Structures are given as structure tokens and as C-alpha cells.
Structure 1
Amino acid sequence: MTRARVAALYRYPVKSMLGERLTEAEVSERGLAGDRRFALLDEETGKVASAKNPRLWRALLTCRATLTEAGPRITGPDGTEVHAVSEIVGRPVTLTDTPPPDATLDRSRPEEVLRAGVDAQVEADVVRFGSAAPVGTFFDFAPVHLITTSTLAGIAEVQRYRPNLVLDTGDTEGFVEHDWVGGELRIGDRLVLRVMASTPRCAVPTLAHGDLSRDPEALRVLARHHRVPALPGRTPEPCAGVYAQVLRGGWVREGDVYTVSSAR
């Protein structure tokens, strides 16, 4: 049994763009309110634009999205508001809050990106949105992604891994959340999550994120020190953080106490 506090909260209103740090958020079965609520569709292919295919979409990580009552406000690398994202990514795109039927995205194989570089046309897998993702959302697998301070201490900046929740694990060392898979996480006075799987990392952490320059070590460190099966029966792969689904909704606030009952 572990007991500590929520260190930080983040949401990403537009998929694959930089997001915003929050002090509190309401959480439902669809995740943090407003998180991954929007995405860009490639008008040529109909696929969801994702920085998992760096050659085409890494420029999305130069944009920041914040949520307003009127929808997402997108700012570019110079901090000014962007009204035509197509000009930044170099492809015609449409902003939407509704995934197309059988929505897919391209996920470049991360080892190939490290070997050949972000501009190379490397082999990519066509990925459908995860079975644990609520219908009508743009989550890759599940509606909440969390990571611990213990894991971050051994790899790179938190922005590269795009979590919703950062959990303070004090002086504990190692990738501790991997052992929480199958357990329940209780946060504050109501919120309950079920930890579903470790998070396999793609090429995204290695890319430039806003002011952070490209850093291949953000993936290589995991490949060397935490190559594990994300779920039982899967092939080991570099992992950091875990995915969770919401068993009981509620509010989460920075500084909330959490407890985790590990299943392992």
C-alpha cells in the first residue's frame, strides 16, 4: 500500500499538441474534462493526425492548445494564436471533436525513427483507438494516463511523456507504477481509477516539445532499463507510466492524497 500526493495535473485539448497545467479537474469515465476532446483529421487520408508519425506530424508539438468556452485556443511557436494549422503542418487538416467511424492513425516504429531520423519515411503500423477508450474520444488506449516522480527521475522531462497525472512517490526509486497494473488507485475523497496497463512509448518523447529540443535518450533510456510487457503476454517494449480507466468519477486537485492497492 502506497500513500502520497498528486504532484501535477495536465490536459491536452487537441491530440498531439502541447497542453495546459491545471490545479484541479473533474474526471468522468471520459477522463479529465476537456482532455483529448479534439483532434486534426488529415483531409487526404481521413486518418487522425498524430505525432506518432513524426515525419508528417511532429510540428503539432510546436503548438499549444488551451480550452476556452468557445473551444480550443491554439497558439504557435511564437505564442500568437493560430487560425490555420494546415500552414504549420504543411498538409490540409480539419479540426474535429468527433472521431470518424473506425478512426485510425499511423504509428511509426520507434526503433526505426531512432535509427533513420524523424525525416525518414520509415515503416508505420496503422493503429485503431483502444478498446478501453470511451466511444467518441481520441484516447489511444484508456482515458487517463499517469506517471510517477520516481519514473521521471530516471528518464526525462515530464512534458515528453504527456501524462494527465503526476504522482509523487517520495524517495521510492524505479518504475514503481508498473507494479500497480490490475490495482485500484483512490484519489481525494471520491475518485477511483483502475490501473490497466503500462504505457508503451513511441517516438513522441524523443521529439522537440515546444522549447525542449529533440532528445533520443528519452526513449533509449527506457529501452535499456525498462523494456517490459505492457500487459501479460505482450512482447517487452520500452514503457513509462500507466493507463487507467475511471471506476468512479470525481474531482482531482493538486496536492490530493492518493492510495494504491497493488494487484502484484
Structure 2
Amino acid sequence: MSDAVAAGTGRRIGTVGALRRYPVKSMLGEDLSAADVTERGVDGDRRFALLDPRTGKVASAKNPRLWRRLLTLSAATTEDGVRITGPDGAELDPDALVEFVGRPVTLTAEPPPGASLDRADPEEVLHAGPAADVAVHAVGLPAGTFFDHSPLHLLTTATLDRIGELSPRGTVEVQRYRPNVVIRTEGGSGFVENGWIGRDLTVGPRLRLRITVPTPRCAVPTLAHGVLPRDPEALRVPARHNRVEPLAGMGPHPCAGVHARVLVPGRIARGDAVLLH
């Protein structure tokens, strides 16, 4: 397929402002200048996860009481796999990792059959705090992956700016929402991604995406991320101003950003044009 066919006709809506991957689920990730994107998402994204041998479930900060400290760890891709470092920058071996999280865990690149994680009700976490023992429910992951729903998560600067405007803090950090691609929008304001559902994007010369659903937000944006402190408003603002129904029957959820699946793989880089079809 030629680049011209892949791009087709479309309206330019912005450029790639940032690229991110997260080598270990629920840990801090890496900034990239360019990346290959396939049907499995950004190369190396969510390649690893921690498994809890007591429950057989994937460790996720969506259950903050048990796993919120994962968001203070950093994961970086290496030739041999992944390097995990603590808040002080020291590398953690498997024993040190277990000691840090306070529970037995196993680092794996092999999603178990029927993999799932526990997701706390974000409204309850807002009310009771991240250390509270609130209700959780199991969420199944797509077969053979550590993704929650889709291989790619997109967020616009228009949405980030709007959340910042509505927040008492006057700002919100992009790291809290853990996108793969930040689109620097040209024109438009507010939660512009809501209007993209079911439409296609071309990113760079070749990558073609289908926008599938709004991204429902869990408690994760409210938690401390590395040196960033807690920020409940990162969830409260979407809860007040952008409650939409991600899927029929789910009911309204606080949303920010969108999920996408890959129609045509391609390599993208910061500054690449983004077209909406």
C-alpha cells in the first residue's frame, strides 16, 4: 500500500506532540522520539507485567490499596528485556522488587490464559482515599496481552488544557493519564476526541488507526506518579465535565482520551501530521 493510499483524504487536526511506552504495566514509562506501531501497539509497550501468585492476577494500580507504589517505579527497555529502578534511581532486582511492593510478585512477559486484574471503583477511591479497602471487581484483559482494552491510547492537548482550566490547580500533568500518543491539536477546544469515535486517523506517512471508544478513567490519574503528588482533581474534572458512555450498557463514565486499534502499521515520530477521516 502506498503512503498516499494509506493517508487518503482527511482533515489535518494536529501533530504528534509526544510518544510514550510503558514497558511494565502500571510503572512509569519512556519518552520516545519515534516508534514502530503494529497491531500490538507501540513496540515494547506493556511487554511485561507483575503477577500476584496469591491471586493469579495482574498487578495494576487500578487497585490502589495494593499496587499504587508501582507508579513510583520506572521501567526502561534494554537489549535483554527491562530495567526497573526505584524512586532513588537504584535498580531493583527481583528480591528488592518484592520487598518494595510488599507482596510476592513475579515479573513476566507471558500473559496467563484468562488474565485479569482488579479495578477499584474510582468514585469510592476519591471518597475514601487510595489506601482504603474499597470494593474491586475483576476485569479481563484481551487474550495474550497486558492491555486493559486496546493497544493504543491517544490524548489531545485540547483535553489536557481543558482539564487544567477546570482544575483548582490550574493545570494537569499528561503523565497522569498514561497515553501512548499525545496529539498537539490545531484548533478546537475541550474534549475533542469524543467526536472521533468510529472514525479513522492517519498518523505520519503510513499509520492508520480506527478510534474505537472513549477512555474511561479509573483511580490511576489521582495517584502519585513518580515525583508528582496525588491529584484527585485529575479524575474529578472529567467526572464533572465529561461523563460519556464508552460502550452501550456501561452507563456514563468520566472519560479523557480515546482508545484505538491499528488498521495499517507504520512508524511515527514527534512532529508527524495527524489527519482525521
- Normalising by the smaller structure, the TM-score range is over 0.9
Contact 1:149 1:170 in 2 (8 A): no
Larger CA deviation: 164-173 vs 219-228: 164-173
Q: How far 1:170 sits from its partner (Å)?
A: 2.8
Q: How far 1:233 sits from its partner (Å)?
A: 4.1
Q: How does 1:164-175 map to 2 (within 5 A)?
A: 164-175=180-191
> Which residue is 1:55 aligned to?
65
> Which residue is 1:118 aligned to?
130
What is the TM-score normalised by the length of structure 1? Answer: 0.95
> Which residue is 1:215 aligned to?
231
Q: How far 1:171 sits from its partner (Å)?
A: 3.9
**SS across alignment from 1:55:** helix
> Which residue is 2:145 aligned to?
137
Stretches of structure 2 lacking an aligned partner (at least 5 in a row): 1-10, 164-171
> Which residue is 2:113 aligned to?
101
Deviations 1:151-188 (A, max 9, x none): 01122210000000000113421100111010001011
> Which residue is 2:14 aligned to?
4
Q: 2:262 aligns with which of 246, 249, 252?
A: 246
Larger CA deviation: 77-86 vs 240-249: 77-86
Letter in 2 for 1:30: R
Larger CA deviation: 53-62 vs 162-171: 162-171
> Which residue is 1:77 aligned to?
87
> Which residue is 1:92 aligned to?
104
**SS across alignment from 2:234:** helix
Contact 1:77 1:210 in 2 (8 A): yes
Which runs of at least 4 in structure 1 moved beyond 3 Å after TM superposition?
A: none
**SS across alignment from 2:26:** coil
Q: How far 1:88 sits from its partner (Å)?
A: 1.1
> Which residue is 2:247 aligned to?
231
Deviations 1:120-165 (A, max 9, x none): 10000110014xxxx4210000000000000011222100000000
> Which residue is 2:209 aligned to?
193
Q: How far 1:80 sits from its partner (Å)?
A: 1.1
Aligned length: 257
**SS across alignment from 1:154:** helix
> Which residue is 1:160 aligned to?
176
Alpha-carbon distance in structure 1 between the residues aligned to 2:112 and 2:195: 35
Alpha-carbon distance in structure 2 between the residues aligned to 1:12 and 1:205: 15
Identity of aligned residues (%): 62
Letter in 2 for 1:121: D
Letter in 2 for 1:51: A
